[in-house]
Structure 1
Amino acid sequence: MGNHWKELLPIDHYQVRSNGLMHDFYRKTLTSLYQPLIGAVAYSLYMTLWSQLENEQDWSERATHRSLMNITQLDLKEILLARKKLEGIGLLTTYVKEENGERSYLYQLEVPMSPDNFFNDGALNVYLYNRLGNHQFQQLKRKFTTTTHVEGFTLITAAFNEVYDSLHPSEMRTTESSEISQAMELEEGSAYLKEKTGSSISIAEDFDMEWLEQSLSDLIVPKDALNAEMKDTIKKLVYIYNIEPLQMKQLIESTYVKYDELSAEALRKSTHEWYAVQHQNKLPHLSLRIQPPMYKQQKKKQAETEEEKAMELFESISPYEQLEKMAGGAKPAASDIKIIEGIMFEQNLNPGVVNVLIDYVMRTNDMKMVKAYIEKIAAHWARKNIKTVSEAMALAKSEHRKYQEWSKPATARKKAYSAKNERKDKLPKWMTENKQEPVQDLSDFEQQKRQLEARLKKYSD
C-alpha cells in the first residue's frame, strides 16, 4: 500500500473556513465548470466541507478525519487524493499544525472563478473544452452568458449628486477625530468580509525565468514588459503546452512584434495558434502526469529484480510515455491516447496503474490496444480499488488466465481448452521472473551423503 498514512491519519483533526463570501451561485459554477475537471469525488469533498460551515464568519466545529470518512464513505487515500485535486485547481488551501503530538488541519475553501474569468482563463477553459467537446462546451457557454443589448431603451438613471447633498462640517455634529479613527480600525487578525474573485491554477517554480529575462532582446521586448502577471501567465503556458524555454522566448518576441505590446491575452493567443499548427489543431489534455507521490513505493529502495525495475519505471513515467516506449519511441496513435485518457478519468485509475495495464495488455495481445478488452480490465481494477503499481502487477499475475479468456471471441473461448497447439502468450518479464533457488555446493552434498550412510549403518548394526 502507499504511504498516505504519513500525510494523513483518521485521528487527525480538521476544521473548515471560507476565504470570502460563499454564494449559492457558486454551486452552479462548481457543478458545471469545475466538476468535469476534478471529478465527482473531489467535487463531493468540496461540497461536504462547505456544508459544515454555519456561516462565513466562523470556523466549522473541530472533527476527525474518521468522521469525514464516515460522511463521504471514502477511504483515507481517496480523501487525500481528492484534497490534492482541489488544492491543485485553486479551490482549497490547506494548513497544518502539530502540537503535543497531535496533528490538526485547517481547510480553507476558496471561491471558484467567475464564469467571465473562467472562460477567459487560458488554462482551465482549454482543458474544459477538450473534456466536453465543442458542442457541449458551446452549450455551457450560452448557459453562463447574458445579453448586453438594450435597444429601444433610453438611459435615465439619476446621478449621486442629483439625489444627495454633501453636508459641510459646520452642519454636522462635532465628533473627535480620534474617535472616528478608532471606530474605523479593525482588531488585529481580523478582516472585513469581501467578495472574492477566485483564482486560476498556480504552477510550482520549475521554470528558469531568470534565463528567459536575460535572453530576451531589449531591442524587441522592453524589460519592464515581464511584470508579475506576465510571469505567472508564462509559467502557466509553459506547463500547459509543454513549451521549451527557447520556444517561449521566440513566442514572446513574435507576440510583441505582432501586437506591439505584451499582454496575457496576446501571449495566450499566440501560444494557442503556435500549438494548433504543431499538433494539427488539437488542444492539450488535463491529466495526472505520473503516479502521485502518496502511491509510490519504489522511492528509496534500490531496484534489483525485474519486477522492482518495472515497478520503478511504471511509477516514474506518464501513460503517454509508456505508450511511446511500447511503440519503440514513435508517437502513439491518437486512438490509443484517447482510450487511455478515457480509462484514467472514467475509471479514475492512477497513472502508474494505467502503465501496468498498457504493458500487460499490449504484450499479451501482439502489441494491440483492444478498446473493449482494456476497458473491461480497467473496470475490474477500478472495482478492486487498485491504487498502487504493486497491486496492479499482483492482480495481473493472479487473474492472467481469466483475462486471456476475456480477450478471446465467444466462439474461440469454447474451443480454448480442446485446442492442442494453443499459442503461448508472450508475458512481460516482471510476470515470468522466477526466484532461483540457491545452488547447493557439491562438496556439501557429498558430505551430507556420507553422514547419512554412516547413520544408517549405525542403526543397521
Structure 2
Amino acid sequence: MERYFTELNGTDEFIVISNYVATQVTEDVLSTLYTPLIGVECIGVYQFLRQFLTGYEQTSGLLNHYIILSELKMNLAHFEVVRKRLEAIGLLKTYMRIEDNQKFVYKLIAPVMPTQFFNDPMLSVFLFQQVGKPRYQQLKARFCNETFNLDGYQDVSVKYMDVFGTPKTPDKVVFEGNEYIVKQNESHGIPIHQHTFDFDLLEMLLAQNLITKSQLPKATRHLIVQLATLYDIAAHDMRGIILKSLTSDQKISHEDLRKNARDFYQIEHDGKLPQLTPQKTQHEEPETKLTWFELMDTTSPIDMLTSFSKSEPTIKQKRMIESILEREQLPFGVMNILLQYVMFTNDMKLPQSYIEEIASNWKKQKLTSSEAAYNYVKSFEQKKKEKSNKRTNTYNKQNTVQKEMTPKWLLEEHNHMSETREQDNVDLEKERQKLMEELKQSWEEDK
C-alpha cells in the first residue's frame, strides 16, 4: 500500500460518504476539540470533503483528485499526509478499488460527542496536554449544562393510552424501506486495534492471580488497549495496574484503571503526560519544492493564463492554445511554461507563429513536465548569454586588427558607427536581462 500512495494521480476518482448528518454540536466539537489536536488544515480538508454531501444525502457524486489540486492548492503527496492524520484520529476511513484506474471512497466518521470525548482516556489526555489546564477546563465547561432540580415536584404527565386509546395494528408497508433512513452513528474515537496489545500474555499473567476472562468484558478490553497504547504499557506492567484497580467484589474499576495507568506513566516520565505528535513522513520534506511544478502540470493552460494575466484570454488565444495542444500533444506543464516564457520575453504578448515554432521545438526535445521545461529555458538562456559574450570578444579582437590597417579618417568614422551599434546592442541586452530577471523572480515567488 505504501507504494501506491506515492503514485496518487489527479485523474483517480473518489466518492465521499458519511455515517452521520452534521449538526451544530458536531461543528462545535470539530472546531473546539479536534482543531487543537490535528490542526486547522486537517479540519479544513475534512470540511472540504463534506461539502459534497448536501442536505440529508450521505453519498456524493463521482469526483477526481484534480479538485484537490485546483481548489485546495495542495499537492497530492501532502493531501495523503493530511488524510492519514484524519484516519488516525478517527474522523475518516479510506477504501480503494483498482479498475481501469484507481477509485477511492472517503468515509467521513462522526466526531466523538463531548461526553464521550472527555471520558476517552486518549482524546482527553492529548487535549489536556495540547491546550493546558486553564483552557482545558474552559473547553470542558463549554459543553456542560446544569440540570434543573426537580426535588419537590411531582410528575403529573398523562400516558399515551389515557389520551389516544389502544393503538391499531400497523400495515406492513409502514416499515418498508426503513433501513435506508438516515442514521446518526456514533464515533468510536481514535481507532485502536486489539492485536496491537498482547492479550494472550496478559490473560496468562492474570490467571496466576485468579483473574478470569469473564472479568475482562469487551468494554474493559477496549479500555486496556487504549491505555496500553496511550502510555506505552507492556502486558506485565498492565497486570499490576489491573490488580490495583480491582474493587471489593473483584471487578475492574474503569476509573481506577485510568488513574493507575496515568500514575504509572507519570512516575516513569517525571510527572509529564503523553502528547499527540504526528510523525514526519517521506512526503513532508519536499512538498514546498514540488507544489508549484505540480500545479503547473495539472492546471489547464487557459486557466493558468487567466490567473497569470489577471484577465480572460480572448477567443483567438483560446483556440490557438487548444490547436497547439492537439497538434503537438504537449503536457499542460510544458505548455504553461512556454506561455509564461513567451509573455515575459515579448512584452506580455502572445505571437502565434512564435509560440507554434517554440512548441514544435519543445516537442522534439521531448519535454514531459513543467520542471523539465523550466530547466530547459534556464539552460537555453545561459547558452545564449555565453554565445553573445563570445561574439563580443571575437568582435573586439577583429576590431583591434582593423585599427592597425585602417586610415585614421576612416577609422574614426567606423568607430562612431561601431559605438552606435554597440550602444544599441547594450540597450537590447539590458532589456533582455531585465525581462529574464522578471521571469526568474516570478517563478521563484510562485514556487
Q: TM-score, normalised by structure 2?
A: 0.59
Match of 1:68 in 2: 68
Q: Alignment partner of 2:207: what SS?
A: coil
Specify the code of the residue in structure 2 equivalent to 1:184.
F
In structure 1, what is the Cα distance between the partners aligned to 2:110 and 2:234? 33
Match of 2:36 in 1: 36
Structure 1 residues 137 and 192: alpha-carbon distance in aligned structure 2, compared to 1, 3 A threshold? same
Match of 1:279 in 2: 269
Match of 1:256 in 2: 246
In structure 2, what is the Cα distance between the partners aligned to 1:134 and 1:33? 14
1:199 aligns with 2:188: yes
Specify the code of the residue in structure 2 equivalent to 1:186.
G
Deviation at 1:252, TM superposition (A): 1.2
Q: Alignment partner of 1:256: what SS?
A: coil
Match of 1:232 in 2: 222
Match of 2:59 in 1: 59
Match of 2:94 in 1: 94
| 1:86-120 per-position Cα deviation (integer Å, ceiling 9, x unaligned) | 11111111111222x21111111111111111011
Deviation at 1:199, TM superposition (A): 1.6
Specify the code of the residue in structure 1 equivalent to 2:157.
A
Structure 1 residues 139 and 89: alpha-carbon distance in aligned structure 2, compared to 1, 3 A threshold? same
Deviation at 1:84, TM superposition (A): 0.8
1:186 aligns with 2:177: yes
Structure 1 residues 186 and 79: alpha-carbon distance in aligned structure 2, compared to 1, 3 A threshold? same
1:222 aligns with 2:212: yes
Deviation at 1:71, TM superposition (A): 1.5
Structure 1 residues 5 and 113: alpha-carbon distance in aligned structure 2, compared to 1, 3 A threshold? closer
Specify the code of the residue in structure 2 equivalent to 1:113.
V
Larger radius of gyration: 2
Match of 1:103 in 2: 102
Match of 2:129 in 1: 130
Structure 1 residues 158 and 102: alpha-carbon distance in aligned structure 2, compared to 1, 3 A threshold? same
Match of 2:408 in 1: none
Structure 1 residues 382 and 216: alpha-carbon distance in aligned structure 2, compared to 1, 3 A threshold? same
Which is richer in helix? 2
Structure 1 residues 117 and 259: alpha-carbon distance in aligned structure 2, compared to 1, 3 A threshold? farther
Match of 2:119 in 1: 120
Structure 2: which 5+ runs fail to align?
292-447
Q: Alignment partner of 2:95: what SS?
A: strand
Deviation at 1:6, TM superposition (A): 3.8
In structure 2, what is the Cα distance between the partners aligned to 1:259 and 1:277? 28
Structure 1 residues 92 and 7: alpha-carbon distance in aligned structure 2, compared to 1, 3 A threshold? farther
Q: Pairwise CA RMSD of aligned residues?
A: 2.8
In structure 2, what is the Cα distance between the partners aligned to 1:26 and 1:124? 16
Query: For 1:393-432, what aligned pairs fall within 5 Å after superposition?
Result: none
Contact 2:241 2:257 in 1 (8 A): yes
In structure 2, what is the Cα distance between the partners aligned to 1:36 and 1:112? 14
Structure 1 residues 56 and 105: alpha-carbon distance in aligned structure 2, compared to 1, 3 A threshold? farther
Q: Alignment partner of 2:202: what SS?
A: helix
In structure 1, what is the Cα distance between the partners aligned to 2:290 and 2:148? 53
Deviation at 1:243, TM superposition (A): 0.8
In structure 1, what is the Cα distance between the partners aligned to 2:55 and 2:98? 26
Deviation at 1:14, TM superposition (A): 0.9
Deviation at 1:58, TM superposition (A): 4.4
Contact 1:12 1:103 in 2 (8 A): yes
Structure 1: which 5+ runs fail to align?
296-349, 354-380, 387-461
1:270 aligns with 2:260: yes
Deviation at 1:152, TM superposition (A): 7.8
Deviation at 1:8, TM superposition (A): 2.1
Deviation at 1:279, TM superposition (A): 2.6
Structure 1 residues 192 and 7: alpha-carbon distance in aligned structure 2, compared to 1, 3 A threshold? farther
Q: Alignment partner of 2:106: what SS?
A: strand
Specify the code of the residue in structure 1 equivalent to 2:187.
G
Structure 1 residues 250 and 26: alpha-carbon distance in aligned structure 2, compared to 1, 3 A threshold? same
Deviation at 1:36, TM superposition (A): 0.8
In structure 2, what is the Cα distance between the partners aligned to 1:250 and 1:75? 48
In structure 2, what is the Cα distance between the partners aligned to 1:51 and 1:138? 32
Q: TM-score, normalised by structure 1?
A: 0.57
In structure 1, what is the Cα distance between the partners aligned to 2:290 and 2:164? 69
Specify the code of the residue in structure 1 equivalent to 2:95.
Y
In structure 2, what is the Cα distance between the partners aligned to 1:250 and 1:5? 42
Match of 1:247 in 2: 237
Contact 2:75 2:287 in 1 (8 A): no
Contact 2:13 2:64 in 1 (8 A): yes
Deviation at 1:218, TM superposition (A): 5.8
Query: For 1:369-380, what aligned pairs fall within 5 Å after superposition?
Result: none
Match of 1:85 in 2: 85
Query: For 1:261-410, what aligned pairs fall within 5 Å after superposition?
Result: 261-288=251-278, 290-292=279-281, 295=283
Identity %: 27
Structure 1 residues 70 and 163: alpha-carbon distance in aligned structure 2, compared to 1, 3 A threshold? farther
Q: Alignment partner of 2:105: what SS?
A: strand
Structure 1 residues 258 and 129: alpha-carbon distance in aligned structure 2, compared to 1, 3 A threshold? farther
In structure 2, what is the Cα distance between the partners aligned to 1:157 and 1:131? 48
Deviation at 1:216, TM superposition (A): 0.8
Structure 1 residues 35 and 102: alpha-carbon distance in aligned structure 2, compared to 1, 3 A threshold? same
Deviation at 1:15, TM superposition (A): 1.2
1:210 aligns with 2:200: yes
- Judge which range, 81-90 or 2-11, deviates more: 2-11
Contact 1:16 1:108 in 2 (8 A): yes
Contact 1:123 1:236 in 2 (8 A): yes
Structure 1 residues 4 and 270: alpha-carbon distance in aligned structure 2, compared to 1, 3 A threshold? same
Structure 1 residues 259 and 28: alpha-carbon distance in aligned structure 2, compared to 1, 3 A threshold? farther
| 1:135-164 per-position Cα deviation (integer Å, ceiling 9, x unaligned) | 111111111111124378735451434753
| 1:378-397 per-position Cα deviation (integer Å, ceiling 9, x unaligned) | xxx996689xxxxxxxxxxx
Specify the code of the residue in structure 2 equivalent to 1:195.
Q
In structure 1, what is the Cα distance between the partners aligned to 2:114 and 2:68? 30
Contact 1:37 1:128 in 2 (8 A): yes
Contact 1:202 1:236 in 2 (8 A): no
Contact 1:220 1:253 in 2 (8 A): no
Contact 1:221 1:256 in 2 (8 A): no
